[in-house]
Amino acid sequence: MERGTKQLRVTADFDRTLTSGVSVSAHGVLETSNALSQSFREAGAKLFDKYYPIECDPTISIADKTPLMKEWYATNHLNMLEEGLDRGQIKAAVEAASDTLIFRHQAERVFEVLQGHGIPLLVFSAGLGDVIDQVLAQRIPFELASSTLVVSNRMIFDESKGDGGLAVGFKDPLIHMFNKSEEALAGEMGDDEEHRNMLKRESVILLGDSMGDVTMGDGGPFPPSTILRIGFCNKDLDANLDNYKRAFDCVILNDGSMAPVVTLLEGVIGQ
């Protein structure tokens, strides 16, 4: 990180990384919301109970998990479209999740430090970008600059229907927890010059809570020369910690605070 802030960017997962390990996920905001039907919530709960243990099981390979994660997401997204979801419901669902969607301690300070010093933050999530946008708009106590960018699954809206637009599809490609890479990130960011300049920064601090997040800095048109991977091992330390130690340069345990990340950033800024 000796290059300082001019060559630094942060790439961070959202669910259970920027948010707490006990927080509801971006998908879960909708799946647990009274703004949506009981049948939708019940279907979402069944899918979570079936697939989430597979996602977290350290004995199942990523190759074996991947088709099951695609199946989970595809079914879940189809349920959303059949529900007749609109932007008004998304906003209401985020508002209703004030007690269940919980930022990790000191996460808001990370946003503040990065924006205050012009360091890009790429929130790279397998969740729902339209939900994450609402979370940031409602919860971060200042307006986020263009240096903060959310790259995630995005809905397609028919602006002529519903409250603020009716969801009628999802944009390709599907982002799930095991296909997150620098190459995928670059593809989603397109040809926007500001976005590509973000990717050209050579030093990356990578924040994630799962083994799928380790690859967020791999590949792409502008491979970073330095990546510091910080992992959040939120639970099941006996089963997971050895794998996390091998995959990440630093591991924060037991749903720990973002304070070490803030300290690191302030150290880089103070160079």
The whole-number pLDDT of residue 1 equals 54
pLDDT band at residue 100 under the 50/70/90 scheme = very high
Q: Please indicate whether residue 213 is annotated as part of the active site.
A: no
pTM of the model: 0.93
d(CA 52, CA 48): 5
Given a contact cutoff of 8 angstroms between Cβ atoms, the answer to whether 205 and 224 are in contact is no
- pLDDT mean across residues, the chain: 92
The tens digit of pLDDT for each residue in 172-186 reads: 888 988 888 877 777
pLDDT band at residue 125 under the 50/70/90 scheme = very high
Q: Please indicate whether residue 130 is annotated as part of the active site.
A: no
Given a contact cutoff of 8 angstroms between Cβ atoms, the answer to whether 147 and 119 are in contact is yes
The tens digit of pLDDT for each residue in 238-266 reads: 989 999 999 999 999 999 999 999 999 99
d(CA 269, CA 114): 10
DSSP annotation of 193 reads H
Q: In which region does residue 30 sit, left (phi positive, over 0), alpha (psi from -120 to 50) or beta (all else)?
A: alpha
**CA dist list (Å): 14 to 61, 111, 129:** 23, 12, 10
The catalytically annotated residue of 15, 86, 133, 213 is: 15
